[in-house]
């Protein structure tokens, strides 16, 4: 009875372990979807984009009116201060005790076309002095309108208007490019695991075949139809098959770990992968691909940004070499009284005009040096961008060529795999009946293994080249969809 209960208990434990192990049968597209949704690389790419998104939103908000409230709720002061006594013609210390408070509300608006700013503010202040001659007083500025402008100076707002939207559009494309890079990486991990599993199957089969051929060789050696050298060669094949199997098991564990880690799949889960052997025989047009790449690739926007920033630096250094003139003007009303209501009655005019001028007389060539340096940097950027555009076009051409040729390579590799398998089976049967030697069977086996791996690698590069094209163009050639369409909606942004 005890043995029966123990047996049932062991069966229950085994059943629970089997149920805990979840098996997933994944296609390449499912793996790519998991990678672009839940991998750490996808998480990083999305947050880098969101940082750029909020940077752009900050820039947009700076173009709108800024409203601020500044207050001094209480400033209490009690101290001995030095005062001049005109009756005695001496300085003396007197005790002073007062409370001060103030509130100011202001509205300001930057002017991108000129680089200046408009502002409007209103102020209320309160002061109370304590002591023998104590009193209280309110001061008001009901409204004050002003304008501040640097004359003939560098207008940073104008350049921000050109650069900031460009940076934001570039960040969108950089995010989508990151997604395609993640897809490429997923393809690599996917096929690395498939190839590792294929190696395991091949090495196990090779081990079985090596053992079988070795036993046949021993029997033929006993009847003197086989040389000792051939028997030893077959024994070496058995040992090599054992080593290859051990190495394949090690490579499989490594590929499984990298695959599971990248996709953040629990270690308890078992993964089966479907070989993506159904591929489309479609060709991509170079001119169309180049058009999509020039419209969508973030590198093109990056080149534009580099050129704009170089021009901006030249403009800034040129303006800084000139005299610096600033104009500030304001007009408003102010008043003071012992009560709040009186401080707002019959306000007096308040005007202010400030014109400042700074002229560099002698700087020993500093400004000229900075200007020439900025100008030469701009010329260097122009040359760099020009060469980068040539390299970019060449990269597109190679990507299109690689993809368009790869379908034929896959078909040829598939045919080679089937022929190599048939050749090995034929050679094996001929070896069994004594019509093929050891070298022939080993060569046939080697060709069969190479053909199996070449076929999987040809599929690997077919999909890799496809996602390289998508990375360059941000375009889905299978569905004829621009990946930028509906971008903000997909991320839940407006």
Least confident of 13-17, 151-155, 341-345, 426-430: 13-17
Kindly state the average pLDDT of the residues 335-362.
89
Least confident of 26-40, 159-173, 181-195, 214-228: 214-228
Q: pLDDT band for 489, please (50, 70, 90 cuts).
A: low
The total of other beta-carbon atoms located within 10 Å of residue 129's CB is 15
Nearest-angstrom CA–CA distance, 254 and 199: 13
Kindly state the average pLDDT of the residues 381-387.
95
State the pLDDT at residue 224. Answer: 67
State the pLDDT at residue 192. Answer: 95
Nearest-angstrom CA–CA distance, 305 and 307: 5
Over the stretch 197-241, which tens digit does the pLDDT of each residue have? 999 998 998 888 888 888 888 887 777 666 788 888 888 988 998
State the pLDDT at residue 13. Answer: 46
Q: Among 234, 265, 264, which Cα is nearest to 436's? A: 234
Nearest-angstrom CA–CA distance, 426 and 418: 12
The CA-atom distances, in angstroms, between 444 and each of 156, 210, 212, 414, 426 are: 73, 13, 16, 17, 9
State the pLDDT at residue 263. Answer: 93
Residue 167 reports pLDDT greater than 80 = yes
Long-range contacts of 462-467 (CB under 8 A, 24+ apart): 462/279, 462/403, 462/406, 462/407, 462/409, 462/410, 463/28, 463/187, 463/191, 463/276, 464/184, 464/187, 464/188, 465/399, 465/402, 465/403, 465/406, 466/403, 467/180, 467/183, 467/184, 467/187
With a pLDDT cut of 90, the percent of the chain lying above it is 60
Q: Is 320:367 a contact under the CB 8 Å cutoff?
A: yes
Nearest-angstrom CA–CA distance, 16 and 268: 13
Q: pLDDT band for 491, please (50, 70, 90 cuts).
A: low
Give residue limits of the domains in the chain. Answer: 23-63+159-301+384-490, 68-111+116-153+329-358
In a 3-state reduction of DSSP, which class is residue 133?
A: coil
State the pLDDT at residue 492. Answer: 58
With a pLDDT cut of 70, the percent of the chain lying above it is 93
State the pLDDT at residue 16. Answer: 46
Nearest-angstrom CA–CA distance, 214 and 226: 11
State the pLDDT at residue 9. Answer: 45
Nearest-angstrom CA–CA distance, 395 and 465: 12
Where are the alpha helices (H) located in 331-437, listed in sequence order?
340-343, 366-432
Give the DSSP letter of residue 83.
E
Residue 443 reports pLDDT greater than 60 = yes
Least confident of 9-23, 57-71, 421-435: 9-23
Residue 1 reports pLDDT greater than 70 = no
Kindly state the average pLDDT of the residues 289-310.
95
Architecture of the CATH domain 23-63+159-301+384-490: Up-down Bundle (1.20)
Kindly state the average pLDDT of the residues 54-77.
93
Residues 6+ apart with CB under 8 A from 416: 451, 454, 455
Half-sphere exposure of 26 (CA within 13 A, CB side): 26
Residues 6+ apart with CB under 8 A from 196: 248, 251, 252, 254, 255, 256
Query: Average pLDDT of the chain?
Result: 88
Higher pLDDT among residues 13 and 77, named by residue: 77
Considering 128-132, 397-401, 447-451, the range whose residues carry the highest mean pLDDT is 397-401
Q: What is the pTM of this model?
A: 0.83
Q: Among 110, 109, 176, 157, which Cα is nearest to 484's? A: 176
Over the stretch 411-423, which tens digit does the pLDDT of each residue have? 999 999 999 999 9
């Amino acid at each position: 009875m005890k043995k029966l209960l123990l047996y049932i208990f062991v069966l229950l434990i085994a059943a629970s372990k089997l149920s805990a192990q979840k098996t997933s049968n994944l296609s390449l597209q499912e793996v790519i979807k998991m990678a672009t949704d839940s991998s750490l690389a996808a998480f990083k790419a999305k947050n880098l984009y969101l940082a750029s998104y909020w940077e752009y939103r900050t820039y947009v908000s700076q173009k709108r009116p800024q409203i601020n409230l500044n207050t001094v709720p209480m400033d209490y002061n009690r101290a001995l201060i030095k005062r001049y006594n005109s009756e005695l013609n001496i300085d003396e210390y007197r005790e002073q005790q007062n409370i001060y408070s103030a509130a100011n509300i202001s509205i300001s608006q930057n002017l991108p076309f000129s680089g200046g700013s408009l502002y409007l503010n209103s102020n209320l202040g309160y002061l109370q002095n304590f002591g023998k001659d104590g009193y209280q007083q309110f001061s008001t500025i009901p409204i004050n309108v002003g304008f501040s402008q640097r004359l003939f100076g560098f207008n940073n707002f104008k350049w921000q208007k050109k650069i900031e939207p460009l940076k934001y559009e570039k960040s969108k494309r950089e995010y989508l490019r990151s997604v395609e890079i993640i897809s490429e990486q997923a393809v690599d991990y996917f096929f690395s695991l498939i190839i590792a599993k294929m190696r395991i199957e091949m090495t196990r089969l090779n081990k079985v075949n090596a053992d079988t051929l070795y036993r046949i060789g021993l029997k033929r050696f006993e009847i003197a139809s086989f040389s000792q050298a051939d028997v030893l060669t077959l024994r070496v094949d058995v040992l090599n098959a054992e080593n290859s199997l051990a190495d394949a098991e090690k490579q499989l564990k490594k590929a499984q770990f990298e695959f599971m880690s990248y996709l953040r799949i629990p270690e308890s889960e078992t993964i089966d992968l479907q070989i993506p052997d159904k591929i489309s025989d479609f060709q991509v047009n170079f001119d169309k691909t180049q058009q999509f790449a020039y419209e969508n690739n973030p590198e093109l926007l990056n080149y534009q940004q580099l050129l704009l920033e170089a021009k901006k630096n030249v403009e800034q250094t040129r303006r800084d070499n000139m005299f610096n003139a600033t104009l500030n003007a304001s007009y408003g009303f102010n008043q003071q009284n012992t009560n709040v209501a009186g401080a707002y009655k019959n306000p007096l005019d308040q005007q202010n005009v400030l014109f400042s001028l700074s002229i560099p007389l002698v700087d020993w060539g500093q400004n000229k040096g900075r200007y020439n340096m900025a100008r030469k940097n701009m010329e260097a950027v122009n040359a760099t961008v020009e060469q980068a555009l040539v390299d970019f076009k060449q990269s597109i051409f190679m990507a299109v060529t690689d993809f368009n040729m790869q379908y034929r390579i896959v078909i040829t590799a598939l045919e080679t795999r089937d022929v190599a398998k048939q050749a090995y089976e034929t050679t094996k049967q001929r070896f069994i009946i004594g019509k093929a030697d050891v070298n022939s069977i080993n060569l046939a086996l080697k060709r069969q293994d190479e053909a199996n791996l070449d076929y999987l690698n040809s599929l690997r590069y077919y999909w890799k080249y496809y996602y390289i094209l998508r990375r360059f163009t941000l375009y889905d050639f299978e569905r004829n969809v621009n990946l930028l369409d509906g971008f903000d909606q997909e991320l839940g942004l407006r």
